[in-house]
Amino acid sequence: MTYTAPIEEQKFVLRHVAGIDRLAEAGFDVSADMADAIVEGVGAFAAGEFAPLNRVGDTVGARWSPDGVSMPDGFRDAYRAYVEGGWGTISAPGDFGGQDQPQVMAAVVLENLGAANMAFSLCPMLSAGAIEALKHHGTPEQQETWLPRLVTGEWTGTMNLTEPQAGSDVGALKTRADPVGDGTYRIKGQKIFITFGDHDLADNIVHLVLARLPDAPAGTRGISLFIVPKVRAEGTANDVRCVSIEHKLGIHASPTCVMAFGDNDDCIGELIGGENGGMRAMFTMMNNARLNVGLQGVSIAERATQAAVAYAMERVQSARAGAPGREAVAIIQHPDVRRMLLRMKALTQGARALAYYANAQADLASRGDAAAKARADLLTPLVKAWGTDVGCEVASLGVQVHGGMGFIEETGAAQHFRDIRIAPIYEGTNGIQAADLVGRKLGLEGGETLARLIADMRAEAESDHLLQLIETLDGVTKVMTNPQTPVDSRLAGSYPLLTMMAVAVAGWLMERQMKAADRLGAAGEGDPGFLAMKSTVAQFFMATIVPEAMGLKASALAGSTLLYANPDEAFAAA
């Protein structure tokens, strides 16, 4: 199955949801024409260079040897084309070779790369996180040394956070950083689950590594961040080694590495972000990565939907119920298949709208808009969690539309399902995102961030279902933010609340698009077929997905009593 970038859809969302004109007014050197050129260019690039490697990436995958990790044939040439095309420079700082475009335009790039080849797209995605950390926390000298080649993609970057005994509990890490005496540090420890921790696509890999200084405070307060390159700035090899790669359910072309630092006591790093300032710097990387992982849900949902639609239009089976005659028809004519396809499109477009909107809010925040920054912070866990849940659901529906052939690897439907399943887990599990939402984000600015969002949605919404969901959401969040509500009860209801809130915001943005599509259609502007389908998809979202989210109220408010009604051992009982 080939990939075709959803160019008209992406342009439409950039205009009517992200607000390219508003970003230009905020000081970005961007216009609708420029945005269109980027969308068209990266769509063609992703389809032409990354997509043809998706199958070989899955079947051959990254390979480990004592000399390092090698990628399948074709990947190095495609990555070189990515670098030469400047696709990694879109939103990077102009002072270091970037184009200074809005972050939302880089999101379009990553969405297309991820849809074409999710495993491959993880390499530039991780580099983007390293660039963000250096941009916000690096010294001028560090930025001058590392950013130019990271920005172009000549070098790649990683995040090294997790350790075997720590998992998501970052405060339990044990990697050490001992001062050498010349301003550098000797790093010693092991990290696991390091995406693209080693490969043969670039000549250097810049690792950002969390470690503890001697006598550092316990827990997260005592964590620092270090720049630990595979090759030092002066050109000598550092004591950094990939000791193995994981054998995984999916994303086989993304080497998930176990990294050893300092086995020979000669791993040198430099501090970034100040002593014991690692968590602050880490969250700069993580917040960027969480938005981009949410986009992976959109990417796979788009690819799975395209594959399902193509199969449904080709596969002829059975007469349509209630139709005259008994002639077999393409399965796209059967009501349940049509329901699944429309649901796939509605979920994909809703998640895309939410992701683009959050990225645009982050762009406005970078220009000093405090309210936009707070809104971007509030929306980030929604993008990451709901976006990846959407990716999983849509990929599963894609298998279902294919029927028995969906369970056969050669159709590619199974690969989409396998590849996306990691997304709700890494960069902070979706349960952690929900806990973050109720534990921190609902209370931003004393609750004013949430109140402004609900007020904006309430003022603009017209659909009865959407208005009901907004009111339901308002009531549930009031319970969740009430100091009298036990912490266990808030956490027990956090996941359904997150889903409810994400659907409400996505529904608000889908209704906005429906109005724009209807307005343009009435004026005789734009592609009539695209606008008609956009309107139908938005109406389907309001009619089916929004009411489902209202049904989550009971789960969100159920409390934690039943969760702890039995001892731990009872869960293992036969």
Q: Are strands 68-70 and 156-160 parallel, antiparallel or unpaired?
A: unpaired
Dihedral, 298, 303, 309, 314 alpha carbons, nearest 10: -170
Q: Which two tokens stand for residue 225?
A: 């961040």
- The CA-CA-CA angle for residues 418, 419, 421, to 5°, reads 70
Catalytic residue of the set 111, 427, 511, 525: 427
Determine the residue type at 217. Answer: P
Cα 272 from Cα 225, distance rounded (Å):
6
Q: What 3-state class would DSSP assign to 67?
A: coil
Q: Which two tokens stand for residue 186?
A: 């000797």
Is-contact 156 320, C-beta < 8 A? Answer: no
Is-contact 12 353, C-beta < 8 A? Answer: no
Identify the residue whose tokens are 């051992």: 569
501 alpha carbon, distance to own chain's centre: 18
Cα 345 from Cα 116, distance rounded (Å):
17
| Residue 427: active-site member | yes
Question: At 259, phi and psi to the nearest 5?
Answer: -110, 135
Determine the residue type at 425. Answer: I
Is-contact 191 204, C-beta < 8 A? Answer: no
Quickly list DSSP for 372-398. HHHHHHHHHHHHHHHHHHHHHHHHHHH
Cα 174 from Cα 176, distance rounded (Å):
6
In 257-369, which ranges are continuous DSSP H helix?
278-314, 335-366
Determine the residue type at 567. Answer: P
Q: What 3-state class would DSSP assign to 138?
A: coil
At a CB cut-off of 8 Å and minimum separation 6, what does 470 contact? Answer: 454, 457, 458, 461, 504, 508
Is-contact 506 353, C-beta < 8 A? Answer: yes
- Count of CB atoms within 10 A of residue 161's CB? 24
Residue positions counted in the chain: 574
What letters, b where the CB count within 10 A reaches 16 and e where it falls short, cover 56-69? bbbebbbebeeeeb
Is-contact 525 8, C-beta < 8 A? Answer: no
- Count of CB atoms within 10 A of residue 320's CB? 16
Is-contact 79 253, C-beta < 8 A? Answer: no
Cα 383 from Cα 119, distance rounded (Å):
20
| Catalytically active residues, by annotation | 427
